[in-house]
Amino acid sequence: MADAVSAPAVDPESGEFPRWRIYFQLYLRNIAANLLGFAIIVVLNFFTPMTSTWVGPAMLENGAGKYLVILFPFILIIIAMLQYQFQCPVCNHLVSWTHGTACERYDEQQVKRRVLNLPLILAATNLVVYIVVPLVMISYSLIFDLFPLDRKIMALLFFRSVMIGLITACLSFFIVESYTRRISIPLIFPRGGLTDVPGAFRIDIKRRIRLLNLAGTLTPMLLLVMTLAFVVWDVLGTPSFSRQLVLDIFFFTLVLCAIFIVMGFRLNLLVGRSVREPVDAMLEVVKKVEQGDFTQRIKVVSNDELGQLAEAGNRMIQGLAERERVRESFGRYVTPEIRDKILAGQIPLDGERKAATMLFADLRGFSSYVESNPPEEVIMSMREYFTIMENAVRDNGGLVLQFVGDELEAVFGVPLEVKDHADKAVHAALQMREGLGRFNEKRLDLGKPDFRHGVGICSGPVLAGNTGSRDHPAYGMIGDTVNMASRLQDMTKDFSCDILIASQTRDLLKDDFKLHSRGEHPIKGHASTMEIFEVLGHLKTDFLREHLD
């Protein structure tokens, strides 16, 4: 499904990916976070400076040890059961994927939403369980005297349980998220689209940094302050310690923690702003570029990864702008549909044999017109004439291949394949006739000589592709069909008409055209003769025009 990651390991004997391995990969990371959080609190308990025998190494031999031995495995079992339910959609989808089938139990949107939300769901589950389960056990112990612990020790154990929950939640979130980013997300989102999933939680960079601050700054400070609070509570009634000294140490620690917490949040804000502001600026530029404004550039404000990303983004925008200029320039020579397909690589340019209809149009007596008129007048007149002819070709789905002097070459049915390419070519020729008539009316009103042209059309096989050099490619047609269309255009002089088509084109026509056979005639460069037809008009169009007039 995705190139970014390799496929999951398959059992060599069964050829399947074991279901337990999918669950185990996620369990391993979440349980490892719980074990690490529990180990941290156990170590802290052993080094907590309290006079009570309920805390420290002696706790393994008393009610506190019994409490922890029962509490932690019970919590792990509950977390494992809840995790099983939460990760079922993701794991079942991956199992179905390895079998090459669709997951019937969960729909695609549900699976995508769950894989994105899973790190946050498991982190929140850990925190809630570490708060609720100890609270229930302590309440039950107070009612039924399950553990011989006084209220002070129970409060300390509950506080430590909450601390395990905080540490575990932070560790679990980042560990599980790292796994899903590397494995699950590339498999379930092979083509991206993560931001389009409805109902998925989004943790932006600012919140992510605050979460890191919570894990690395606030949680240790809270552990320190609360532990010292319990130490003060433990030694207040003992004669071996100075009450004032203990209080001074506690308040000093409290002030110190408050200062570092404020500094931590301030630094958090600054770091978050240094990351968020460049990202927001990039997103704003990307939105404008997406709307077609390629003049935008990302402001580079650092030389770190974000600065490198901004530089790469600017190079990308410049490349897109150049591509758009090429696209627009290319679109002046071909229709937008053909242009987009060629640029998208959907049309082979290295050569293909296709059935098509070729059209050649050439001005009559143009050499004398060039000699007797100023160059500016000649160029402007040619440009206006060719614009009318090109529009006729494009309006009928054709492609203008080239303008050579006073001649136009066009093709219908290549590179976009159409079944009625012969009809479209004849329709284009008739539109050229009408357009030339209107053009001549304007010229006569201005006292300028009129233009006359001849059009030749032939249908058959052509070889289409890049016919130019390696450095200057030109999309063109090669074949006998091309030569015959050019010959027919030249023969319009002999028959004193403007549109001639070959018998091959006449045989493909499906529309009601008014044709007049000019008989069998030899074609220059061919040994055999061919029947030629003059196009007089279109029956339906002529009928409507007569009645409207």
Q: CB-based contacts of 328: which residues, under 8 Å, 6+ apart?
A: none
Instruction: Scan for tokens 């939460």, then name that residue.
Output: 86
**Closest by CA position to 455, among listed 393, 513, 511, 508:** 393
Annotate 297-326 with b (16+ C-beta within 10 A) or e (fewer): ebebeeeeebeebbeebbeebeeeeeeeee
Q: Mean pLDDT across the chain, nearest whole number?
A: 77
Q: What are the domain boundaries of the chain?
A: 1-200, 203-294, 349-548
The DSSP H or E segment spanning 537 is strand 529-538
* Alpha carbon distance 462, 421 (integer Å): 13
**4 pLDDT exceeds 60?**
no
Closest CA to 506 of 392, 395, 399, 425: 425
From 27-36, 60-69, 201-210, 510-519, the region with the lowest mean pLDDT: 60-69
Rounded Cα distance, 409 and 367, in Å = 19
Distance CA 425, CA 419 (A): 12
* 322-327: long-range contacts, CB 8 A cutoff, minimum separation 24: 324/292, 324/294
CA distances from 230 to 63, 132, 142, 336, 479 (A): 18, 22, 20, 77, 96
Q: Which two tokens stand for residue 4?
A: 């970014």
Enumerate helices (H) and strands (E) in the chain, giving the number of each: 16, 8
Q: Label residue 351 left, alpha or beta by phi (over 0 means left) and psi (-120 to 50 means alpha).
A: left
Going by C-alpha positions, the residue among 313, 317, 341, 316 that lies closest to residue 327 is 341
CB 229 within 8 Å of CB 235: no
pLDDT bracket for residue 346 (50, 70, 90) = low
Over range 61-69, report the average pLDDT. 58
Say which residue, 114 or 325, is predicted with more confidence.
114
Q: Sorting pLDDT into bands at 50, 70 and 90, what band is 341?
A: low
Q: 349-548: what fold?
A: Alpha-Beta Plaits (3.30.70)
Tokens of 237: 């009634």
- Helix 151-179 to helix 63-99 angle, to the nearest 10 degrees? 20
**Per-residue model confidence as pLDDT tens digits over 357-384:** 999 999 998 888 888 899 999 999 999 9
pTM of the model as a whole? 0.52
Q: Which residues of 413-446 are buried (b: 16+ CB within 10 A; e: fewer)?
A: bbbbebebbbbbbbbbbbbbbebbeebbeebeee
Spatial contact of 168 and 113, defined as CB atoms under 8 Å apart: no
Alpha-carbon gap, residue 501 to 485, rounded angstroms:
8
Spatial distance between the Cα atoms of 317 and 99, rounded to a whole number of angstroms: 42
Using 50, 70 and 90 to split pLDDT, how confident is the model at 2? very low
Of 94 and 263, the structure prediction assigns the larger pLDDT to 94
pLDDT in tens, 229-244: 777 776 666 665 566 6
Judging by DSSP bridges, how do beta strands 407-412 and 399-404 pair with one another?
antiparallel
Q: Is 384 exposed, middle or buried (0-12, 13-18, 19+ CB in 10 A)?
A: middle
3-class DSSP string for 429-474: HHHHHHHHHHHHHHHHHCCCCCCCEEEEEEEEEEEEEECCCCCCCC
Query: Which residue is listed with tokens 């209107």?
Result: 438
Amino acid symbol at 106: Y
Identify the band that residue 495 occupies on the pLDDT scale cut at 50, 70 and 90. very high
Render pLDDT for 70-129 as a digit per residue (tens, 0 to 9): 777 888 889 888 888 888 887 777 777 666 666 667 777 888 888 888 888 998 998 999
Joined together, the tokens standing for residue 506 give 């006449």
Q: What is the pLDDT of residue 11?
A: 44
Q: Are 275 and 209 in contact (CB under 8 A)?
A: yes
pLDDT digits (tens, 9 = 90+) for 155-170: 777 887 887 788 788 7
d(CA 24, CA 10): 15
